[in-house]
Structure 1
Amino acid sequence: MAVSPLDSTLFQLLFSGREIAKLFSDEATVAQMLRVEAALARVQGRLGVIPEEAADAIDAVLFETVLPVSELTDGTGDAGVPVPALVAALRSRMDTDAGQYLHWGATSQDIVDTALVLTLASAAEVLEMRLEHSIQALKSLAERHRATVMVARTRSQQALPMTFGLKVANWLSPLLRHRTRLAELRSRLLVVQFGGAVGTLSALGGRGLEVMEALAAELKLQTPAVPWHTQRDGLAEFAGWLSLVTGSLGKIGQDIVLMSQNEVGEVREGGQALGEGARGGSSTMPQKSNPVSSEVLVTSARNNATLLPALHQALLQEHERGGAAWQLEWLSLPQMVVSTVVSLKHALYLIENLEVNAKRMRSNLEISNGLMLAEAATFALAEHLPRPEAQTLVKQCCHEAAASGLNLMDVLAECCDAPVDWTQLRDPEHYLGVTDQLIDRVLSSV
Structure 2
Amino acid sequence: MSFSPLDSALYGPMFTTPDMTALFRDDAQLARMLQVEVALARVQARLGLIAEQAAEQIAASALTFSVDLQRLQPGLLRDGVPVPALLGEWRAQLPEPARTALHRGATTQDIVDTALVLTLRDAHALLDAELHALMTVMAALAQRHRHTVMAGRTHSQQAVPVTFGLKVAGWLAPLVRHAGRLHELRPRLLVLQFGGAAGTLSALNGDGLRVASALAGELALAEALMPWHTQRDALAELAGWLSLVTGGLGKVGQDLLLLAQSEVAEVTEGARGGSSTMPQKSNPVQSELLVAAARMNATLLPALHHALVQEHERGTHGWQLEWLTLPQMLGLTAGALTRARHLLEDLNVNTAHMQATLDASRGLMLAEAYTFALTPLIGRADAARRVQEAVQAVLHRQAPTLQDALGGQDGIPASLPRLNEVDVLGASGELIDRVTAALDALQRQAG
Q: TM-score, normalised by structure 2?
A: 0.96
Give how far 1:323 is off.
2.1
Matched residue type, 1:67: V
Shift of 1:44: 0.5
Percent identical pairs in the alignment equals 54
CA distance in 2, matches of 1:21, 1:322: 28
Do the aligned partners of 2:17 and 2:331 also contact (CA within 8 Å) in 1?
A: yes
1:54, CA displacement in angstroms?
A: 1.4
**1:418 CA drift (Å):** 3.7
CA RMSD of aligned residues (A): 1.1
Specify the SS of the correspondent of 1:150.
Answer: strand
Write the mapping of 1:1-400 to structure 2, written as runs, cut at 5 A: 1-271=1-271, 279-400=272-393
2:404 aligned with 1:410, yes or no?
yes
Is 1:434 matched with 2:427?
yes
Q: Is the 8 A contact 1:72 1:82 kept in 2?
A: yes
> How far apart are residue 68 of structure 1 and its match?
2.1
Tell me the CA shift for residue 420 of structure 1: 5.6
Q: Distance in 1 between matches of 2:27 and 2:68?
A: 8
* Preserved contact between residue 135 and residue 172 of structure 2 (Cα < 8 Å): yes
Classify the secondary structure of the residue corresponding to 2:408.
helix
C-alpha change, 1:285 and 1:421, in structure 2 (3 Å) is farther
In 1: Cα distance, 2:201 partner to 2:92 partner: 26
C-alpha distance in 1, partners of 2:336/2:310?
Answer: 31
* 8 Å CA contact retained: 1:409, 1:422: no
One-letter code aligned to 1:59:
A
Contact 1:268/1:291 (8 A) holds in 2 = yes
CA–CA distance in 2 between the matches of 1:438 and 1:424? Answer: 26
Per the TM alignment, residue 18 of structure 1 is displaced from its structure 2 partner at its CA by 2.2
Deviations along 1:368-421, one digit per CA (max 9) or x if unpaired, are: 211111100100110112212211121122111211252111111111434365
- Kept after mapping to 1: 8 A contact 2:374/2:416: no
Q: CA-to-partner distance for each residue in 1:322-380, whole Å, 9 max, x for gaps?
A: 12011100000000000000101110110000000111101101212111111001001
Mapped partners of 1:311, 1:420: distance in 2? 65
Partners of 2:51 and 2:61 lie apart in 1 by 16
Contact 1:31 1:66 in 2 (8 A): no
Corresponding position of 1:443:
436
Q: Distance in 1 between matches of 2:27 and 2:414?
A: 74
**Separation in 2 of the partners of 1:13 and 1:211?**
42
| CA distance in 1 between partners of 2:207 and 2:10 (Å) | 52
Structure 2 contact 51–97 (Cα < 8 Å) conserved? no
Q: What letter corresponds to residue 283 of structure 2 in structure 1?
A: N
TM-score (norm 1): 0.96
Secondary structure of the residue aligned to 1:285 is coil
Contact 1:7/1:16 (CA < 8 Å) preserved in 2?
no
SS at match of 1:66: coil
In 1, the alpha carbon distance for the partners of 2:414 and 2:30 equals 75
d(CA) in 1 for partners of 2:63, 2:350:
57
Q: Is the 8 A contact 1:149 1:163 kept in 2?
A: yes
The 1:41–1:343 alpha-carbon spacing in structure 2 relative to 1, beyond 3 Å, is: same
Whether the 8 Å contact between 1:6 and 1:17 is mirrored in structure 2 is: no
- CA displacement 1:299-327 (0-9 Å, x = unmatched): 00000000000000000000000120111
User: Structure 2 stretches of 5 or more lacking a match?
Assistant: 440-447
CA distance in 2, matches of 1:315, 1:84: 25
- SS at structure 1 position matched to 2:14: helix
- 1:417 partner amino acid: G
Q: 2:155 is aligned with what amino acid? A: R
How far residue 422 of structure 1 moved from its aligned partner, in angstroms, is 5.2
Distance in 1 (CA, whole Å) between partners of 2:167 and 2:356 is 18
The verdict on how the C-alpha distance between 1:61 and 1:375 changes in structure 2, with shifts beyond 3 A counting, is same
Deviations 1:143-191 (A, max 9, x none): 1100000000001000000000000000111111111111110000000
Amino acid paired to 1:320: E
CA distance in 1, matches of 2:58, 2:10: 42
How many residues are matched?
438
Counterparts of 1:112 and 1:176, CA distance in 2: 33
Moved more, 247-256 or 9-18: 9-18
Counterpart residue identity of residue 400, structure 2: L
What residue is the counterpart of 1:419 in the other structure? 413
SS at 1:9's partner residue? Answer: coil
Cα distance, 1:423 vs structure 2 = 5.8
8 Å contact 2:153–2:160 — kept in the other structure?
yes
SS in 1 for 2:296: helix
Cα distance, 1:16–1:440 mapped onto 2, change above 3 Å: closer
Report if aligned partners of 1:397, 1:412 keep a CA contact under 8 Å in 2: yes
Letter in 1 for 2:383: A
Aligned residue number for residue 276 of structure 1: none
